[in-house]
Structure 1
Amino acid sequence: MEYCSNTLLSDVTDDEDGRHFVPDPHADLPVYLTIHRIRRLIMATIDDPYTSEQLRDPQMNMLIVRPLVDRLYNSEDVSVVYCLLVNRTQFLREQSYQGHLQTVSITRATLCEILASRVLRRFDEDNPGLVGLLLLANILVAGFEPFQNAPEEVRRRNPSALQWPVQKRGGYERKITALEVAIISESKAFLSSSACQKVVDAVYRGQVIYTPLSFVDIIPDHYKHNPIALYSPWKAPILNHYRLIVPRLRNIIEVCQFAVLLLLYGLTMFYRDENKVTIHEMVFCAYASGWILEECAAIIEHGWYVHTQNIWSFLDIAFFLIYSIYVTLRVYAAVVADANLAANALDILSVAAPVLLPRLAFNLMPDNLLFISLRAMMRDFTVLTLLATWCFAGFFLSMKWLHGTSPEQGRDSPGSATISKWMLWIWFGLDGTGFERSADFHIFLGPALMIAFAFLGNTLFLTILVSMLTNTFSKIVENATAEVHFRRAVLTFEGVKSDAIFAYRPPLNILAVVVLLPLKFVISPRWFHKVNVCAVRLFNAPLLLAISLYERHQLWRTRKDEPQIPYKRSSLFRWTFSGFSPHGDIQAVFDMEPPRNILEESTLI
């Protein structure tokens, strides 16, 4: 298989419906056979549990890892890495329900990740420069199907065949990329490898372009399917609407969109009025509804599990719940003309401030180790709190059922809310009123239940919680580089959007759904694509123009260890700050790729 270094966009063909699709260049690869071949090799090689450090030991590398890499590596088969990661996912799944093979399955999953990293590194070493970058991109972001080229009787027995949405993509249905499999299997060591990060960085910056594969789109525009290629801003149109799905640009756009949302939220709360809906509140509701629609489309695009890997996903979910309750109460209060209910709706909206302000910091510093640790610790805290609440609910029921048996007649009996408040205070060690009033439940059983609850909740639970959070934080700090690279890979993979709805800024995306979605069922795919592209370029013309001018000068200006594409610089931008230095030639000698004859002579020395 040959990958030309100056490839930009391959020719496309028309199918029977008139759609323009690039034929899948990897359709002939025996993915199904390779998956089961790898599984048999791994199971025959690993019969005993080993730690990750033992598998990376030099002796283990010579005896197991390197022979398997030599056996699996095939310069003509770019699906080997995908198949290894698919097997890792299956071994991780097996260790969760096969107790007798739990440790062995974890070892096999770890070995699959190590082999995938080594095979990808072998591809990188054998294919330097732009040729290698394009090849690595095909390995990581080209779509493969687990049942690809499986026997017909196997495909007929596939139980998940009817579970996928029916959205035609010219033969690219049911495809999953190796990068997505690495994310869902949390292959952090693989994602942090230099070869993988080279592709992730190129995709993030828009140097490598491709048509993303998604589960389902709200506004599907699949008239064209472009191949994986290197992007040249000098050969692309000035208003190139495909640049709106470049992860780096999308990240900047999303930060600006969220800043606008935060500004409108502040104006709404500053000029709040319970008696009428202000203009600021109307604008905020329209914009927030469009912003939430975009977040829902992002969840549908790649699934709930991938979306929740973002460090700010729990903040988005919290804002969605708060905003939904606020809108429901606000609309109902306007219908029944209830000022008190409207005030309560605005009070609920004010609770969103602790969610929105940190969310902006998460957007601006996604690689910050504190935020990455906070997300993981919030997950552990939520799980442990739910389990503890479930277990300690028995204490509440016991006190509730003991209610009213106190011999004292002059004191009011505590209600359910009061009992819950006392238990919460004792849980966090804030107040001891529950101990003083425990005899109101029962002269003997009341104090005994309170003391038992305080010991289990305040002492045992909090000790376990602190230990868990400390352990989680220490693991993240220990693997800080892998964690940062993993989050960057998630951000890059989610940034390449397939749904046409992401090309419209809130609240125009709501209008796009109302207008374009019914229009799709009326006109042909070709005309729907033309209407969609025209609307996107019209509404984003200033932004697309700025992107085009910037990328023609800056896109392929990279560091010395990154691939470059030759280009003719515009006369308007010939002078740069990097060249205005007495030491500029030291970097410049590495910035330009040397001619082929120089490379051949250097290898002979």
Structure 2
Amino acid sequence: MPNPGATSDHKHAGQADSIAPDISGADTNGRPTRTNGQHIRLPEQLNRPRLEQVSSTHRSLSEALRAVRNREEQETLLEDYEGPDPEDGGEIGPGEVFFQDPYEHLQVYYTIHRIRRIVRANIEDPYTMDQLREPRLNVLVVKPLVDRLYNEDDVSVVYCLLVNRFQFLREQHFQHHQTVNLTRANLCELVAMKMLRRYDEESSGRLGLLLLANILVAPFQPFQNAPTQVCPERRTSRYQMQGGYEGKLTALEVAIISESKVFLSSSACVRVIDAVYQGRIIYTPTAFMDIIPDHYKHKAISLYDPRKAPLLNQYRLCVPRIRSIIEVVQFIVLLVLYSFCMMNRSGASFDISECLFLIYGSGWVLDECAAMLGHGWAVHTQNLWSFLDITFVGIYLAYLALRIRGWVTGDPELGRQALDVLAIAAPVLFPRLAFNLMPENMLFISLRAMMKEFTALSLIAVWCFGGFLVSLKWLSMGNTDTDLWDPPTPISISKWMLWIWFGLDGTGIDEAPKFHQILGPSLMIVYAFLGNTLFLTVLVSILSNTFSKIAADAMAEIQFRRAVLTFEGVKSDALFSYRPPLNVLAVLLLPPLKFILDPRWFHKLNVMLVRIHNAPLLLLVSWYERRYLWKSKRNNAQAQCPAERSKWNFWRWSGFSVHADLQAVFDEEPPPEVASKIEEEDDLEDAVLENSFAGAALRSISPGRTMRRRRLSSVWQG
């Protein structure tokens, strides 16, 4: 039975390519075919559409020219392949609403335990990451392991390697004296990186990018195809049903929670992350919990074609690049309303400025809470400014509770206290804007890590030095000479100790003899040595070490933050399509309708509301992406000829630079004749090397050189 909603929503996804695990099946023209309405199969060799295939005796000349023009545009966008839309009618999965998982047949459970056994057998001694990357261990351990595990038909191997890394790190956390588990975790990360690079080298072009995307963002479940006796029982709510994708994780998410920074900074991984961030690759993410779940359409991983997408494509609101711009604008609005509210605070009574901030702030806090639920606490806290957002959420909830209680009881003092609590959010909100505008600044990246270390060390110090506070309090209680002084309160003693800690004042040392003539000064002096000298010295050393580690591997840290920002930016919750404060209304109205309407009509209602609400923004996004998302070959060809450049290029600032040509020579790819000449000379040199003894030695050292040279040739010619 065909899906009644598939035809009407044919253009919603705007997809151009999708890839399946088995690549076979084509019609007489060499185009991919759909088998059993489940997924798309690609032919072995994809033929470029030709002009003679368009011309026909049954078609007019204008129709033929129009068809040729459309095919040229698609050829520019997708190079050698133009695939059908995976949502183009027919049954697409369970319940006729989900795209069937093309990798449900992979033996993920078996592969995970096979990798664990192989890694434990190969690594019995501790090594550092630098030692594992040395030529000797690379030849003896890493490369044989890559050759043994590599399977071009199994895209779950990288996921299984990262799952094993996560487990080895967990075992290392409970066995600090055995660093061999840390070595095994590093080996899993290194093998995953090299295996992803091999996939990248053996697949070029857009289809190669699509294959890498399937490896990184295809969802898998650790117990997939495991024996029934070991599979845990899972309970799925009908409200949160995701068509069999519940509880599945991607390799990118496992790399983030295991902090695989070397893997995430590899060139192949960065290529996919950038494509997902810009919206060239689209997929349906899995979420831990959605407040407004709308999973009627679960799309396959595919390349986005803006020319085939509708003008009002609501799915583009969850593209990480667009989503990040929207979040910055929303935060600026929140900051402006907050400043307006605090500058016009009127005590116990409500005014228009506070009402506006209260309404908009509720929507912003709801959006932040939904982000925490979407990908879980472990992923959300990896964000660069997550600790600032979480702090503001706590301050806002405290302010809201006091404000509501003061309004209900009619107590004006509670209203003033609520505004006082809200005033302490300024040190959190103003730096947060700088974090948004400069997310790759090393100062902010290191500041986040050092704040984490400082908080942990401060809590340990307070815990340890609490004994001094209790001892001094008990000494003051034992002093019966009340004529000399009144026994100080614990708060007073804490202030004296805090001043000594930071070297601000020595009042505590002056008051120490009043606790006890001998024991009081002794305790204070010991505390001063431990707190002001030893602890601060250790704290500075640890923070300096943390900063030096981050600065030494700055590129990996930056790429890791980009990966977190990209992964967290792909949202599955329909709540993120509504701007604050309208998301509050959406939470109040849409979830009850989920139990009344069927999935198809709930999806249609949600799409209609989102498109009406975001119509201007969606039109702007559609116009921009149709022009700039994919580079046009015709534009590149015109740019290569200076005589055909646009007259507006004269106003580029680079033209006023004396050294502008040093950069301009690399702006465009070389013309075909130049690339062919270079290729011919390289072939001649390789032929000479292959007939020499040095060429034989070179082949033994680098057997993949010929493959990489052919890949370079295909990239230039494509």
The alignment's TM-score, normalised by the length of structure 2, stands at: 0.78
Query: 1:214 matched to which residue of 2?
Result: 287
Query: 1:429 matched to which residue of 2?
Result: 503
Structure-to-structure mapping, 1:414-493, within 5 angstroms: 414-493=488-567
Structure number with higher relative contact order (C-alpha < 8 Å, ≥ 6 residues apart): 1
Residue 406 of structure 1, CA deviation: 5.6
Query: 2:355 matched to which residue of 1?
Result: 282
Tell me which moved more, 137-146 or 446-455.
Answer: 446-455
Aligned residue identity for 2:195: V
In 2, Cα distance between equivalents of 1:124 and 1:499:
32
In 2, Cα distance between equivalents of 1:485 and 1:537:
34
Conserved? CA contact 2:94–2:243, under 8 Å: no
Residue 232 of structure 1, CA deviation: 1.0
Conserved? CA contact 1:9–1:227, under 8 Å: no
Query: 2:266 matched to which residue of 1?
Result: 193
Query: 1:495 matched to which residue of 2?
Result: 569
In 1, Cα distance between equivalents of 2:597 and 2:82:
37
Find out whether 1:176 has 2:259 as its counterpart: no
Picking from 149, 155, 159, the partner of 1:78 is: 155
Query: 2:106 matched to which residue of 1?
Result: 29
- Could you list the per-position Cα deviations for residues 208-254 of structure 1 after superposition, in whole angstroms to 9, with x for gaps in the alignment? 01111111111100111011111111110000000000000000000
Conserved? CA contact 1:94–1:105, under 8 Å: yes
Structure-to-structure mapping, 1:144-543, within 5 angstroms: 144-155=220-231, 158=232, 161-162=234-235, 167-404=240-477, 405=479, 407=481, 409-543=483-617
In 2, Cα distance between equivalents of 1:592 and 1:137:
30
- Could you list the per-position Cα deviations for residues 498-543 of structure 1 after superposition, in whole angstroms to 9, with x for gaps in the alignment? 0000000111111000000111111111110001010010100000
Query: 1:590 matched to which residue of 2?
Result: 669
Residue 291 of structure 1, CA deviation: 0.6
Residue 98 of structure 1, CA deviation: 3.2
Conserved? CA contact 1:19–1:224, under 8 Å: no
Tell me which moved more, 414-423 or 302-311.
Answer: 414-423
Conserved? CA contact 1:130–1:565, under 8 Å: no
In 2, Cα distance between equivalents of 1:420 and 1:19:
66
Picking from 68, 71, 77, the partner of 2:145 is: 68
Query: Structure 1's 37 and 591: CA in aligned 2 closer, same or farther, altered over 3 A?
Result: farther
In 2, Cα distance between equivalents of 1:256 and 1:501:
17
Conserved? CA contact 2:593–2:602, under 8 Å: yes
In 2, Cα distance between equivalents of 1:276 and 1:268:
12
In 2, Cα distance between equivalents of 1:109 and 1:35:
13
How many residues are matched?
A: 591
Residue 154 of structure 1, CA deviation: 2.2
Residue 578 of structure 1, CA deviation: 6.4
* Structure 2 residue matching 1:144: 3-state secondary structure: coil
Query: 1:108 matched to which residue of 2?
Result: 184
Conserved? CA contact 2:93–2:100, under 8 Å: no
Conserved? CA contact 1:9–1:226, under 8 Å: no
In 2, Cα distance between equivalents of 1:9 and 1:568:
29
Conserved? CA contact 1:208–1:228, under 8 Å: yes
The alignment's TM-score, normalised by the length of structure 1, stands at: 0.92
Aligned residue identity for 1:118: K
Aligned residue identity for 1:150: A
Query: 1:548 matched to which residue of 2?
Result: 622
* Structure 2 residue matching 1:230: 3-state secondary structure: strand
Conserved? CA contact 2:94–2:100, under 8 Å: no
Query: Structure 1's 459 and 473: CA in aligned 2 closer, same or farther, altered over 3 A?
Result: same
Conserved? CA contact 2:282–2:303, under 8 Å: yes
Query: Structure 1's 515 and 178: CA in aligned 2 closer, same or farther, altered over 3 A?
Result: same
Query: Structure 1's 193 and 576: CA in aligned 2 closer, same or farther, altered over 3 A?
Result: farther
Q: Work out which of the two has the higher radius of gyration on C-alpha atoms and give 1 or 2.
A: 2
Aligned residue identity for 2:461: A
Taking every aligned residue pair, what percent have the same amino acid on both sides? 58
In 2, Cα distance between equivalents of 1:91 and 1:293:
36
In 2, Cα distance between equivalents of 1:553 and 1:328:
49
Aligned residue identity for 1:25: P
Query: 2:97 matched to which residue of 1?
Result: 20
Aligned residue identity for 1:127: S
In 1, Cα distance between equivalents of 2:499 and 2:554:
36
Conserved? CA contact 1:406–1:443, under 8 Å: no
Query: Structure 1's 410 and 496: CA in aligned 2 closer, same or farther, altered over 3 A?
Result: same
Aligned residue identity for 2:539: L
In 2, Cα distance between equivalents of 1:373 and 1:527:
48
Query: Structure 1's 176 and 129: CA in aligned 2 closer, same or farther, altered over 3 A?
Result: same
Conserved? CA contact 2:513–2:520, under 8 Å: yes
Conserved? CA contact 2:99–2:299, under 8 Å: yes
In 2, Cα distance between equivalents of 1:195 and 1:292:
36
In 2, Cα distance between equivalents of 1:212 and 1:593:
40
Conserved? CA contact 2:371–2:380, under 8 Å: yes
Query: Structure 1's 36 and 391: CA in aligned 2 closer, same or farther, altered over 3 A?
Result: same
In 2, Cα distance between equivalents of 1:291 and 1:483:
28
Residue 602 of structure 1, CA deviation: 9.6
Query: 1:561 matched to which residue of 2?
Result: none
Residue 8 of structure 1, CA deviation: 6.9
Find out whether 1:95 has 2:172 as its counterpart: yes
Query: 2:214 matched to which residue of 1?
Result: 138
Aligned residue identity for 2:604: K
- Could you list the per-position Cα deviations for residues 172-201 of structure 1 after superposition, in whole angstroms to 9, with x for gaps in the alignment? 122100000000000000000000000000
Residue 557 of structure 1, CA deviation: 3.4
* Structure 2 residue matching 1:463: 3-state secondary structure: helix
Conserved? CA contact 1:19–1:525, under 8 Å: no
In 1, Cα distance between equivalents of 2:531 and 2:110:
54
* Structure 2 residue matching 1:403: 3-state secondary structure: helix
In 1, Cα distance between equivalents of 2:86 and 2:265:
30
In 2, Cα distance between equivalents of 1:98 and 1:170:
39
In 2, Cα distance between equivalents of 1:243 and 1:567:
26
In 1, Cα distance between equivalents of 2:676 and 2:297:
39
In 2, Cα distance between equivalents of 1:568 and 1:19:
45
Conserved? CA contact 1:18–1:526, under 8 Å: no
Query: Structure 1's 478 and 229: CA in aligned 2 closer, same or farther, altered over 3 A?
Result: same
In 2, Cα distance between equivalents of 1:359 and 1:8:
44
Aligned residue identity for 1:477: A
In 1, Cα distance between equivalents of 2:634 and 2:591:
39
Structure 2: gaps of 5 or more residues: 1-21, 24-41, 47-80, 639-644, 685-718
- Could you list the per-position Cα deviations for residues 375-428 of structure 1 after superposition, in whole angstroms to 9, with x for gaps in the alignment? 000000111111111111111111122224163514332112111111111111
Structure-to-structure mapping, 1:121-136, within 5 angstroms: 121-136=197-212
In 1, Cα distance between equivalents of 2:672 and 2:614:
35
Aligned residue identity for 1:249: I
Aligned residue identity for 1:134: L
Aligned residue identity for 2:224: Q
Structure-to-structure mapping, 1:43-62, within 5 angstroms: 43-62=120-139
Residue 485 of structure 1, CA deviation: 0.2
Residue 586 of structure 1, CA deviation: 4.8
Query: 2:86 matched to which residue of 1?
Result: 10
* Structure 2 residue matching 1:225: 3-state secondary structure: coil
Aligned residue identity for 1:40: R
In 1, Cα distance between equivalents of 2:170 and 2:598:
43
Residue 337 of structure 1, CA deviation: 2.5
In 2, Cα distance between equivalents of 1:99 and 1:238:
56
Aligned residue identity for 2:511: R
